[in-house]
Amino acid sequence: MLELQKCAKVFSGVTLRETRHGQARVMRLSDLSDLKAGRAPLLALGDIPEVARASAIQKGDLVVAARGTSTDICLATDAVVGAFISLDLYLVRPDPAKVDPQFLFAFLTLPTTQSQFAASKQGTGLPRLPKERLEKAEVPVLPMDAQRTIAGLACSLEEEGKVLKKLTELNLIFGREIIARAITAATAANHKRSNK
């Protein structure tokens, strides 16, 4: 096992002043929900941060919720690349020589890892995961080919889950349409009988 800070850089979010004509895109905690749901978030605009630790999101980065009852984690998509993160988020930049971003995402979203994060949170209203706890999360040390295989498996299972969810939604719509047609047909038949 290797501490996350030994195989990735962890950046804290920064205070960003939102302005209508700002030059920087700003990702907030609420945007993480959109990203997690597969939607492109509508990012706010703000001033470019002047602090040295501010780092714009890059391809392969993970965005981690610093606050909330669950520790939502998403891989950066093109929709957020180049944006800065707010104080309620952490940015995890994996070292590609040590850890595959998809593998790291799969590991950090496991129920056991999520339980460890939940146990480390502090505060009552909107509990916060301390940056040190995230940095000290222990990641399995595996050869890169094994990491990529596991990452591929995780991606396949995630895609399957999305397809099954879509099929369930379509099945509900189809079922409602069948019921609506049955009611229409029964109403028409009843109306015919009543008029005889």
Q: For the chain, which residues make up each domain, given as ranges?
A: 2-141, 142-196
pTM: 0.78
CA distances to 61, 98, 111, 135, 168 from 5, rounded to whole Å, are 14, 11, 21, 5, 40
Question: How confident is the model at residue 74, as a pLDDT?
Answer: 92
Question: How confident is the model at residue 123, as a pLDDT?
Answer: 82
Ordered mean pLDDT values, 10 residues apiece, the chain (196 residues): 92 81 86 84 83 85 91 91 91 94 94 91 86 93 90 85 86 92 89 80
Contact 118, 130 (CB under 8 A): no
* Residue 26: strand pairing partners: 44, 84
Query: Tokens 């999360």 label which residue?
Result: 137
Question: How confident is the model at residue 157, as a pLDDT?
Answer: 85
Question: How confident is the model at residue 35, as a pLDDT?
Answer: 83
Neighbours of 82 (CB within 10 A): 14
Contact 1, 142 (CB under 8 A): no
Question: How confident is the model at residue 173, as a pLDDT?
Answer: 92
Question: How confident is the model at residue 113, as a pLDDT?
Answer: 93
The rounded radius of gyration (Å) of the Cα atoms in the chain is 23
Question: How confident is the model at residue 176, as a pLDDT?
Answer: 92
2-141 CATH:
3.90.220.20
Tell me whether strands 62-65 and 8-12 are parallel, antiparallel or unpaired: unpaired
Check the CA dihedral 89-59-152-156 and report its sign.
positive
Question: How confident is the model at residue 194, as a pLDDT?
Answer: 81
Contact 65, 89 (CB under 8 A): yes
Question: How confident is the model at residue 112, as a pLDDT?
Answer: 92
CA distances to 80, 85, 94, 97, 193 from 45, rounded to whole Å, are 12, 11, 26, 34, 65
Q: How far is it, in rounded angstroms, from Cα 112 to Cα 139?
A: 12
